[in-house]
Amino acid sequence: MPLISIDDVAEKPFDYIIIGGGTTGLTIATRLSENPEISVLVLEAGAANFNHPLISKSSQHGFQFGNPDLDWCFQTTPQKHGLDVQYYWNRGKTLGGSSSINFQLWVHPPKADVDNWERLGNPGWNWDMFEQYSSRVYNVDKTKLQVDGWKIWDATKSYGTGNVKVSLPNVIDSDIKFRESLVMMGVPKAPAPYHGNPNGAYINIGTYDPNDYSRVDAATAYLRPNLLRPNLVILTSALVHNLIFDSADGDLVATGVQFSSTTDKTPRRAYAHREVVLCAGAIKSPQVLELSGIGQAKVLKQIGVPLRLELPGVGENVQEHQVVGVANELKEECPDMTYDLLRDEKEYAAHGELLTQGKGLHTIGITNLTYAPLSTFSGMARAKELYSAQKKKIEEHKKKGVYPPGREEQYNLLLDLLDPEKGNPDVELVGFPGYISFPRLPIPGKRYYTLCAVLNHNFSRGTIHATSRDPYSNPEMDPHYFENDIETQSMVETVKWLRRLAQTMPIKENLDHEHNPGPEVQTDEQVEEWVKKGSITVFHTIGSCSMLPLNKNGVVDPNLKVYGTRNVRVADLSIVPLHIAAHTQSVAYVIAERAADIIRSSAKY
Ligand SMILES: Cc1cc2nc3c(=O)[nH]c(=O)nc-3n(C[C@H](O)[C@H](O)[C@H](O)COP(=O)(O)OP(=O)(O)OC[C@H]3O[C@@H](n4cnc5c(N)ncnc54)[C@H](O)[C@@H]3O)c2cc1C
């Protein structure tokens, strides 16, 4: 059914109500509505934004930020261990959610990281499951899968049967030289980046339609081809406040939701015969649960919401990735176009034209990824020193009994991953064809290539909680960045290494000088301070409604059902209990595909 108005929905019953029409929400809604007998309502707070040029034209990374029509513009609390810096946490507020504003990298996690979810008490949530469901999501373009002797996809494996087209965008000379310099610095090629072992350097693909380089997101891949299904009802500009419940034998039974149009804010209701599925993302899903009376007694008391179900894990166990970028200005004679040019109006228009010929900046992408152990960057001795210090700290805290239920098990797995002898990928490097570096800003008209360091497996744990019963006010986000020194020091060591890489041929040939941090940042202490001032989020928040056993502070069980409820599931990135060395959209789609299967099989259709 085409998009409809609020009066077509208010006070009406549906089989399923899906809260949030983002990456996971649209995927699940499309799958459930394959059965024409089943009615599905999606309530999305953002607008439809079909064919919005800031979404459909690829590679406009960050151009949507701060635009309230597309971005929630979240902001964290000042970070106590990070010089009180507040971080912007941009998220898609539109049909398609964050898949519509993301940076389009298509990345698969390492096998060990997904298998860890099963080890934490979630049978069936393992690497085999990831492979099975992801191949239902992606559809790899076979025409460009070999570049300069770098094999992108294992031809013996499935190319996928899904609707999310992924392909290799164009690359610039600095991308090629960066990769060659990595090899010069001893980084091996990743053995199986899309099939369980991304440890090393590789060329990655992205959510680009190979026919015209446009963005592929959940709206274009899942919803658009099925928009006219009469049983699929999508209401946009509709913010869900809370769930409505009855109770049966001590369990909560959701009968519907309370929501309002974002223009008039008058509370309305819609009813669910079967289930309510929460897909509002890792930042808003815990808030919706709390405003429904599900969460920590203390938090609900503070906001004046009566407690219906005590679940201490709601809004806890929050984990995030951080990135810091060393930005180098390109030499005048270097021929590369970089994203920096798009900040100039004339260039922006010119590249819009070039796109029609399959050329220009809207056809290039972020294609250089490397996953490697900390020891690659710090040397083995320093990696061992940092690992031992972290291990000691954790052992001491275990003895003092300070950890909440379930945390020790997570830290045991993280220590195992971090053990330098095992060589797992702790850090990711990204070659970014433009400026993505802070706090110093770029000089207009100049072109840059940024060498980025990303932390994959953080020990720090944060929180996301509602601080008001007003559904229109954002929850408080506190990721506890840099609470563990291992995170700060891993970044410091990697930044020092990246500076050496910039002096290595052949990338050195293209780089004029380092613009940020710049020559005044030299000692380890100065690098540390710069890292704390200059790091940003990678937009990968997880854990706020973790899938864990109930006695380990779980919020949902392995069937994604909220403990203590009969028919409420959470099926978005918030359920991931332990972070992965990967960008997260592939995981979000996998969670959604599996959730759809779980829901269909529990309803026996
Ligand atoms: C800027 C950015 C860059 C990224 N880059 C990459 C990348 O290059 N590669 C990669 O793999 N991953 C990337 N990611 C991460 C990836 O896109 C996300 O992890 C994934 O899309 C999250 O899916 P989700 O369904 O959990 O949440 P979302 O897709 O964010 O969906 C949540 C939806 O719920 C809606 N909503 C929220 N609250 C309510 C409410 N109360 N009522 C109604 N609707 C509500 C939101 O508007 C949104 O549409 C990036 C993310 C961002 C934000």
Mean pLDDT of the chain: 97
Say whether both 220 and 100 belong to one domain: yes
Q: Is 362 annotated in the active site? A: no
Amino acid at 310: E
Supply the pLDDT for residue 148.
Answer: 80
Please say which residue of 519, 534, 549 terminates a domain. 534
Q: Find the angle CA(99)-CA(103)-CA(104) to the nearest 5 degrees.
A: 65
CA of 495 to the centre of ligand 1 (A): 28
Show the tokens assigned to 160: 């996928």
Residues with Cβ within 8 Å of residue 162, at least 6 apart in sequence? 135, 136, 137, 138, 139, 221
- What residue has token string 């309502």? 41
| Domain of residue 310, residue span | 1-141+215-318+466-473+540-605
Residues with Cβ within 8 Å of residue 455, at least 6 apart in sequence? 321, 322, 323, 426, 427, 428, 487, 490, 491
CATH number of the CATH domain containing 102 = 3.50.50.60
Query: 542-571 pLDDT, tens per residue?
Result: 999 999 999 999 999 999 999 999 999 999
Say whether both 452 and 548 belong to one domain: no
Average pLDDT over residues 345-356: 96
- Ligand 1 binding pocket (C-beta < 6 A) is 19-25, 43-46, 90-93, 97-99, 101-105, 107, 239-240, 279-281, 284, 288, 539-540, 572-573, 583-586, 588
Name the residue with the closest Cα to ligand 1, atom 35. 20
Supply the pLDDT for residue 1.
Answer: 66
Nearest-atom number in ligand 1 for the CA of 238 is: 43
Q: How far is CA 525 from the centre of its chain?
A: 30
pLDDT at 73 over 90: yes
Say whether both 301 and 361 belong to one domain: no
Say whether both 380 and 365 belong to one domain: yes
Query: 258-306 pLDDT, tens per residue?
Result: 999 999 999 999 999 999 999 999 999 999 999 999 999 999 999 999 9
Show the tokens assigned to 183: 């090899």
How large is the greatest C-alpha to C-alpha distance in the chain, in angstroms? 74
Q: Say if residue 587 carries a ligand binding annotation.
A: no
Coil, strand, or helix at residue 430?
strand
Which of 63, 291, 584, 589 most suits a substitution to test ligand 1, by most atoms within 8 Å of the C-beta?
584
Show the tokens assigned to 447: 């072109």
Name the residue with the closest Cα to ligand 1, atom 41. 240
CATH number of the CATH domain containing 381 = 3.30.560.10
CA of 24 to the centre of ligand 1 (A): 8
Q: Say if residue 240 carries a ligand binding annotation.
A: yes
Say whether both 249 and 339 belong to one domain: no
> How far is the C-alpha of 531 from the C-alpha of 439, rounded, in Å?
10
Q: Is 195 annotated in the active site? A: no
Nearest-atom number in ligand 1 for the CA of 240 is: 42
Say whether both 425 and 515 belong to one domain: yes
Q: Strand 568-570 vs strand 268-278: parallel, antiparallel, or unpaired? A: parallel
Q: Say if residue 24 carries a ligand binding annotation.
A: yes
Nearest-atom number in ligand 1 for the CA of 573 is: 26
Name the residue with the closest Cα to ligand 1, atom 27. 281
C-alpha distances out from residue 512 to 54, 329, 443, 447, 494, Å? 31, 6, 14, 10, 21
Out of 108, 465, 540, 579, which one is annotated catalytic? 540
Say whether both 136 and 260 belong to one domain: yes
pLDDT at 2 over 70: no
